[in-house]
Amino acid sequence: MEISKTVEQLKPSGIRLFFDLVLNMKDVISLGVGEPDFVTPWRIREKAIFSLEQGYTSYTSNKGMIELRRMIAHYLERRYRLHYDCEEEMLITVGVSEGLDIGIRAILNPGEKVLIHEPSYVSYPAVVELAGGKPILLKTDIKNGFKLTPGQIDKACGKGVKALMINYPCNPTGASYTKKELREIARIADKHDLIILSDEVYDELTYDFDHTPLATLPGMKKRVIYFNGFSKTFAMTGFRLGWACGPSKVIGAMTKIHQYTMLCASIMSQMAGIEALRGNFADVMEMKKEYMRRRRFVVSRLNEIGLTCHMPEGAFYVFPSIKKFSNNSLEFATDLLKKKKVALVPGTAFGDSTEGFVRISYASSYENLKEAMLRIESYLKNK
């Protein structure tokens, strides 16, 4: 069967073979996981079960249950003083992944360009290409803590550049931006009339300063599509539940695509989402505290054993350089896996320019992290 040229030309996940190797190996200590190691808090799971017992098994409105949208609007208001009208400016999506896809599709004409920081989450360039657009990758540097600089964005803007995709705290680097840094980015966005797709799914896992949603900055609401979800904050990855907020026009356009392709997010997940936001966030704070400790431990150990890394500001990843030991992160990861049974993700998975780095996830128990660090240490000693 003939495959579409666009899909055929999509960068094949060169990493697939490595992933298969990891998935088929037994007794691996994995630092390669992009999701929390906590199970969803019981109150939320219990609510999902109860909703099934109550017979909540139908479609919901395309935009998502109004009660859930109200809860999200209330949460954003309370948490960030961020006002979105839950009727017109909000859409419940099947995770942020779907949100980004339909967000890009809603704004992009064929051939238009989108700025993306590199390294970035794997789907960013792909959704742009699938929408017929052209991703322009902006390389970020360990020297700047893997942050985009305003100058860099300014220089890259030009003919045909329509939007910027930004993810902070960032998967895979853990980089995030202070309010001051975001103001600079906002200024450049204003200058070039950029649309910003802001993926803030790790917002509650920001450790050194308060997270600032881009949309809260003056004048930004009209050019920002704000994405967030339940996966990371409440350890609900498998529920596939997120939301997008933005000007009513773009949310209307996204809802059009969503209604034809996804129809609605699963009602059980939406019921669970309502319960998640109803709590006092004590469970969220407990998880955050645990991540903070592990972050300190991992960064300190990695630097001790020679894998230089900066202190990431958020998420649950560190992104150390392996350049002292290898120029090829895929080879490094494969060799480490085979010899020491520790899995991590080669940096090149997140962009070609990120050769020489690996992503280490500390969404793993302290005991695992401790053992993994010992194994990596002994691996590096014999290298």
Partner 1 sequence: MNEILEILAENARITPEEIAKLTGQSVSAVKNLIKKYEKEGVIVKYKTVINKDLLEEPHPLVRALIEVSITPQKDLGFDYVAERIYSFPEVKSCYLVSGTYDLLVEVEGENIQTVSNFVASKLSSMSHVRRTTTHFLLKKYKEDGHALKKGKQKQRLNISF
**Cβ nearer to partner 1, comparing 30 with 354:** 30
What is the DSSP track for 52-68?
A: HHTT--S---TT--HHH
Residue pair 228/243 in contact (Cβ under 8 Å)? The answer is yes
DSSP 206: B
3 state DSSP class of 124: helix
Nearer to partner 1, 42 or 59 (CB): 42
Tell me how far apart the alpha carbons of residues 109 and 196 are, in angstroms, rounded to a whole number: 16
Q: State which of positions 6-25 bind partner 1 (CB under 8 A).
A: 19, 22-23, 25
Answer yes or no: are the C-beta atoms of 140 and 116 closer than 8 Å: no
Residue 71 CB contacts under 8 Å (≥ 6 apart), including other chains: 273, 274, 277, 278
189 binds partner 1 (CB under 8 A): no
Contact 164, 153 (CB under 8 A): yes
Contact between 121 and partner 1 per CB under 8 A: yes
DSSP 349: G
Residue closer to partner 1, measured from CB, 120 or 152: 120
Binding mask 276-295 for partner 1 (x = CB under 8 A): -----------------xx-
Tell me the longest C-alpha to C-alpha distance in the chain.
Answer: 60
The closest alpha carbon to 154, from 173, 138, 170, belongs to: 138
The answer to the question of residue 260 lying near partner 1 (CB under 8 A) is no
| Alpha-carbon span 311 to 305, nearest angstrom | 15
Report strand pairing: 224-229 vs 242-245. Answer: antiparallel
Q: Pick between residue 135 and residue 213 the one whose CB is nearest to partner 1.
A: 135
d(C-alpha 226, C-alpha 140), whole Å: 22
Q: Which is nearer to partner 1, 20 or 88 (CB)?
A: 20
Nearer to partner 1, 25 or 52 (CB): 25
Q: Binding mask 139-178 vs partner 1 (x if CB under 8 A, - otherwise)?
A: --------------------------------x-------
Q: Kindly state whether residue 49 participates in binding partner 1, applying the rule CB under 8 A.
A: no
- Give yes or no for residue 372 binding partner 1 (CB under 8 A): no
- Amino acid type, 346: P
Using CB under 8 A, pick the residue from 35, 67, 154, 190 that binds partner 1.
35
Closest approach of Cβ 293 to partner 1, in Å?
Answer: 4
Min CB(149)–partner 1 separation in Å = 25
Provide the residue type at 184 as one letter. E
81: phi > 0 → left, psi -120 to 50 → alpha, else beta; which?
left
Which residue lies nearer to partner 1 by CB, 33 or 380? 33
Instruction: Report the C-alpha gap between 155 and 55 in whole angstroms.
Output: 55
Query: Do residues 224 and 249 make contact, with C-beta atoms less than 8 angstroms apart?
Result: no
Q: Is 371 a binder of partner 1 (CB under 8 A)?
A: no
Taking the C-alpha atoms of residue 178 and residue 80, their distance in angstroms, rounded to an integer, is 14
Single out the segment in contact with partner 1 by CB under 8 A; choices: 28-36, 81-89, 176-184, 254-262: 28-36
- Measured distance CA(123)–CA(325) in Å, rounded: 29
* Residue 297 makes contact with partner 1 by CB under 8 A: yes
Task: Kindly determine how many residues on this chain lie close enough to bind partner 1 according to the rule CB under 8 A.
Answer: 27
Binding mask 310-329 for partner 1 (x = CB under 8 A): --------------------
**Closer residue to partner 1, CB minimum distance, 80 or 297:** 297
Rule CB under 8 A: is residue 300 a binding residue for partner 1?
yes
Spatial CA neighbour of 294 closest among 271, 275, 318, 272: 318
Site string for partner 1, 223-242 (x = CB under 8 A): --------------------
Give me the 337-366 binding string for partner 1, x by CB under 8 A, dash otherwise.
------x-x---x----------------x
Q: Which of 7, 11, 17, 39 binds partner 1 (CB under 8 A)?
A: 39
For the beta sheet containing 134-139, the strands, ordered from the edge strand earlier in sequence to the opposite edge, are 90-93, 242-245, 224-229, 195-199, 161-167, 113-118, 134-139
Instruction: Out of 62, 66, 75, 122, name the contact with partner 1 by CB under 8 A.
Output: 122
Among 70, 256, 323, 370, binds partner 1 (CB under 8 A): 370
**What does the binding site for partner 1 look like in residue numbers (CB under 8 A)?**
19, 22-23, 25, 28, 30, 32-35, 37, 39, 121-123, 171, 293-294, 296-297, 300-301, 343, 345, 349, 366, 370
